[in-house]
Copies of this chain bind each other. A is one copy, B any other.
Amino acid sequence: MKRIDTHTITGLLRKHGICPTSQRVKIAMALFSSMTHPSADQLLGAVNSRKAEVSKATVYNTLNLFLEKGLVREVIVDPSKVLYDPNTSDHHHFYDIVTGELSDIDASKVSIPVLPPLPGNRIFDGVDIIIRTRPAAA
């Protein structure tokens, strides 16, 4: 649980061209202080843990807005739900296929030496590397 103050968050939102309404600030606070990769549903629960403050639709809309504005990244490892990654620096992921746990890998540790030629008339957009693991004990 990282300590993040409201002022930092509102500044961050504004810097990305997002009007910092109270709901958006609450969602951003939950996301950036989590240090994990929460799903929309987990965020909804985190924000409303004390009392209902934000609706489900607003969480989804807000996350899509953050995504569009480059404030968060989407991590797609489980077909049943999308995870959101508050870390936008260059990095990759370990994914435990049994527990569903996701953790970061610094990009410097797994860089690809040579980018293969892109097919057709395409331009590079990014690379996702997911290293799948399983718990060691049977």
Contact = CB atoms under 8 A, between A and B. Distances in A.
Interface stretch (A2-10, A16-24, A27-35, A125-133): A125-133
Nearest to A97: B125
The number of times this chain is found in the oligomer is: 2
Interface in A91-138: 94, 96-97, 103, 105, 109-110, 112-116, 118-119, 121-137
Give the bracket for the number of chain A residues in contact with chain B: 35 or more
Given A94-B119, A112-B110, A129 B132 contact: no
A131 B116 contact: yes
Interface of A: 74, 76-79, 81-82, 94, 96-97, 103, 105, 109-110, 112-116, 118-119, 121-137
